[in-house]
Amino acid sequence: MIILETEKTTQALASFLAGKAGAGDAILLSGPLGAGKSVLARAFVRAFCQDAGLDVPSPTYTLVQPYAAAACTVHHFDLWRLGGPDELDELGWDDARDGLVLVEWPERLEDMTPADALHITLDVRPDGTRVAHLRGWADRFDAQALRAAGFAPAPAAQGVVEQGRASPDGAQG
């Protein structure tokens, strides 16, 4: 879990992840309304497309918006209004998976959830700051790499246990 002190930190996390991502990847963004899923998605698309001024509207009504990046196509999904996983076909889910998919409200995917996805859950704390819980992509980065990149770990509170791969004490110097 890391602390996203401001929107800028969320954007920095998105840029960090864009540097680790490529064709065939799925990034799933969970969290309540207003948690910052679209802020993260927008910054991710801009970083991945290397176009800081790119217009990235929230695909609330179209449900999906494609972007052509040099590496591959990115499809940004917002599945809040998806009726059920059957409707994914009409949205071109299978073809989108050839490139990179970025999904808000991934709970709607149900059994279509990609097994190797990066799961990001955003939460709003009482002081308005956000925390991000990341699960997956253990072969690409770990908590230590996030710390090295300048992201502050959130204190494990209220019995929340960090999932994924914990680096053992003393590992990697």
Ligand X SMILES: Nc1ncnc2c1ncn2[C@@H]1O[C@H](COP(=O)(O)OP(=O)(O)OP(=O)(O)O)[C@@H](O)[C@H]1O
> By the criterion CB under 5 A, which residues form the site for Mg ion?
37-38, 104
Q: Is beta strand 100-104 parallel, antiparallel or unpaired with respect to 26-30?
A: parallel
Please list every residue from 122 through 161 that binds ligand X, using CB under 6 A: 130
Residue 6 in the binding site for ligand X (CB under 6 A):
yes
- The helix/strand/coil state of 172 is coil
- Window 45-84: residues binding ligand X (CB under 6 A): 58
Q: Which stretch binds ligand X (CB under 6 A): 26-34, 47-55, 85-93, 142-150?
A: 26-34
- Closer CB to ligand X, 3 or 72, in the complex: 3
Distance separating alpha carbons of residues 143 and 166, to the nearest angstrom: 7
What is the closest distance, in whole angstroms, from the C-beta atom of residue 159 to ligand X in the complex?
Answer: 24
In the bound complex, what is the minimum distance in angstroms from residue 13's beta carbon to ligand X? 9
- DSSP-derived secondary structure letter, 19: T
Minimum Å gap between C-beta 80 and Mg ion is 8
Rounded CA-CA distance 25/75 in Å is 11
Tell me if 7 contacts ligand X by CB under 6 A.
yes
Comparing CB distances to ligand X, the nearer of 24 and 34 is: 34
What's the DSSP call for residue 153? B
C-beta neighbour count of 134 within 10 angstroms: 23
In degrees, rounded to 5, the angle at the alpha carbon of residue 34 between the alpha carbons of residues 31 and 36 is 70
Between 34 and 150, name the residue whose CB sits nearer to Mg ion.
Answer: 34
Question: Does 31 interact with ligand X (rule: CB under 6 A)?
Answer: yes
User: C-alpha 146: how far from its chain's center?
Assistant: 14
Beta-bridged to residue 77, according to DSSP, are 64, 103
The contact set with ligand X (CB under 6 A) reads 4, 6-7, 9-10, 31, 33-39, 58, 104, 130
